[in-house]
């Protein structure tokens, strides 16, 4: 069981409730991590905005970002993120076989050289960024621009943060439909603004 309580929609401000609703519309639930982080609405709101920028802007595909996010979460042994991002990666077109045997990416023929370079980057940086040698970095530069490398490292870094947050709190995987009760009574009962920052971040 999670070490910190999850806030229901009725327990948060109108601004935070709006972020809950966006997450629910996108995913069919409000992730447990979000409901825990909502104890500090300013952090939650800016995290959502940053999450959206990392995942949904730039020129690296969201499909590839989700793949390296999943591999980062596997290396960190984070069941919470593994469960969530396996579903998201599958929805973006990765096969069940690719995802369930992702640790064997080096031997597989159904990942491109660019995808393998990104996966190697995710593994090395997650285990110890000081071990990223010049040869490995040159491999990444062969396939990605400097801006795209920034995108990849931000996705890897963001999920090293999320993985550690969720592992420390023993976060449980979110169930379908969880955390997203939306009806008139919820809206009417929502507390007034507590200063949370509005954001268009997607999660």
Question: How does pLDDT run across 111-152, given as a tens digit for each residue?
Answer: 999 999 999 999 999 999 999 999 999 999 999 999 999 999
**Average pLDDT of the chain?**
89
Cα–Cα separations (whole angstroms), residue 120 to 47, 125, 135, 148:
26, 8, 12, 15
Q: Quick check: 199 pLDDT over 60? A: no
Q: Quick check: 196 pLDDT over 70? A: no
Read off the pLDDT of residues 153-185 as tens digits, 9 standing for 90 and up: 999 999 999 999 999 999 999 988 888 765 434
Q: Quick check: 189 pLDDT over 90? A: no
**117/115 Cα distance (integer angstroms):** 5
Q: Quick check: 35 pLDDT over 70? A: yes
pLDDT attached to residue 181: 61
Read off the pLDDT of residues 82-102 as tens digits, 9 standing for 90 and up: 999 999 999 999 999 999 999
**Residue spans per domain, the chain:** 11-57, 59-172
Closest of 55, 4, 64 to residue 27, by C-alpha: 55
pLDDT attached to residue 192: 33
| Range 11-57: architecture per CATH | Up-down Bundle (1.20)
pLDDT attached to residue 178: 87
Q: Can you identify the CATH homologous superfamily of domain 59-172?
A: AhpD-like (1.20.1290.10)
Least reliable range by pLDDT among 11-20, 21-30, 164-173: 21-30
pLDDT attached to residue 187: 40
**111/117 Cα distance (integer angstroms):** 10
């Amino acid at each position: 069981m999670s070490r910190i309580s999850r806030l229901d929609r009725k327990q948060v401000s109108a601004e935070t409730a709006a972020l809950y609703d966006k997450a629910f519309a996108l995913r069919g639930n409000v992730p447990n991590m979000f409901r825990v982080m909502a104890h500090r609405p300013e952090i939650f709101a800016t995290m959502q905005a940053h999450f959206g920028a990392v995942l949904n802007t730039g020129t690296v595909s969201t499909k590839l970002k989700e793949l390296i996010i999943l591999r980062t979460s596997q290396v960190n042994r984070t069941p919470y993120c593994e469960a969530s991002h396996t579903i998201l990666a599958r929805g973006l077109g990765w096969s069940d076989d690719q995802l369930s045997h992702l640790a064997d990416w080096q031997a597989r023929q159904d990942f491109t050289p660019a995808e393998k370079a990104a996966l190697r980057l995710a593994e090395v940086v997650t285990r110890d960024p000081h071990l990223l040698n010049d040869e490995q970095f040159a491999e990444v530069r062969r396939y990605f621009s400097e801006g795209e490398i920034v995108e990849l490292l931000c996705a890897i870094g963001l999920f090293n943060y999320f993985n550690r947050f969720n592992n420390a709190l023993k976060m449980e995987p979110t169930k379908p439909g969880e955390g997203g009760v939306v009806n008139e009574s919820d809206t009417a009962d929502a507390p007034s603004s507590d200063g949370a920052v509005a954001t268009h971040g997607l999660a």
